[in-house]
Amino acid sequence: MKRSRINQIMAEADEMIRHYGFTLPPFAYWTPEEFKARTGDAQHLVEARCGWDITDYGDGRFDEMGLFLFTLRNGRLADLQRGGGMCYAEKLLISRQDQLSPMHTHVIKAEDIINRGGATLVIELFGSDDQGNFAGDEGGTVWCDGIRRDYSAGEKIKLAPGESITLQPGDWHAFWGEGGDVLIGEVSTVNDDETDNVFREPIGRFADIVEDEAPTHLLVSDYRSWLGAD
């Protein structure tokens, strides 16, 4: 993806988020230079990979297959493993009309996906086999707004604004906006986008960036090169 396109997507996303009554935290608006100057104070943000995240899954077709994300807060895997402390994460996402977030599951993360506003969010579901692998003929059970719902393989559950679904590790899912763009909330256990996303197809999690202009704000995938983060 071109950096100029990423900058444009950031501006459009911020406008949509504000339209639905949300405001991003102050660090969202730091310039790259401000972030570098404050890296010491913001070490948790860097280590937890909080911030802007825009991906085309390395495929180069953002409008057809892509996702906007902003990680608002994220806990520590060590806390999750010991069963106490900051064991949670929260994100805002934007799924554009007919923009596919491809079929994937998580090994550790359980998540609530919430339609925060806009059009209809469509979630396509499949279950997994005993090893957690994609099972094209298996369904399962999810909870929608706390109500149990059994699903068959490939069923498409549609969420209107205000509605939500709870997904457990092993629930394979893809999603997109239907009838327009959707602002999505995600509340989950600790999030690790580098190791805990398992895709059905051999695709990447992050975009390859062409630096045709300077970044407005850093992406979480920029932290290593700009801030020297591990």
**What would the pLDDT profile of 26-80 be if each residue is shown by its tens digit?**
999 999 999 999 999 999 999 999 999 999 998 999 999 999 999 999 999 999 9
Query: What is the model's pLDDT at position 42?
Result: 96
**Cα–Cα distance measured from residue 221 to residue 211, given in angstroms and rounded to the nearest whole number:** 14
Three-state SS for 221?
Answer: helix
Query: What is the model's pLDDT at position 228?
Result: 84
| CATH number of the domain enclosing 24 | 2.60.120.10
Number of domains in the chain: 1
State the residue range of the domain holding 23.
3-227
**Cα–Cα distance measured from residue 119 to residue 124, given in angstroms and rounded to the nearest whole number:** 16
pLDDT digits (tens, 9 = 90+) for 66-89: 999 999 999 999 999 999 999 999
What count of other Cβ atoms lies within 10 Å of the Cβ of residue 111?
A: 21
**Cα–Cα distance measured from residue 202 to residue 183, given in angstroms and rounded to the nearest whole number:** 27
> How confident is residue 163, by pLDDT bands cut at 50, 70 and 90?
very high
Measure Cα distances from 165 to 123, 134, 149 in Å.
Answer: 9, 20, 10
**Cα–Cα distance measured from residue 222 to residue 89, given in angstroms and rounded to the nearest whole number:** 20
Collect all residues with Cβ–Cβ distance below 8 Å to 147 and sequence separation of at least 6: none
Residue type, 97: Q
- The predicted model scores a pTM of 0.95
> How confident is residue 202, by pLDDT bands cut at 50, 70 and 90?
confident
What count of other Cβ atoms lies within 10 Å of the Cβ of residue 158?
A: 12
Is residue 230's pLDDT more than 70? no
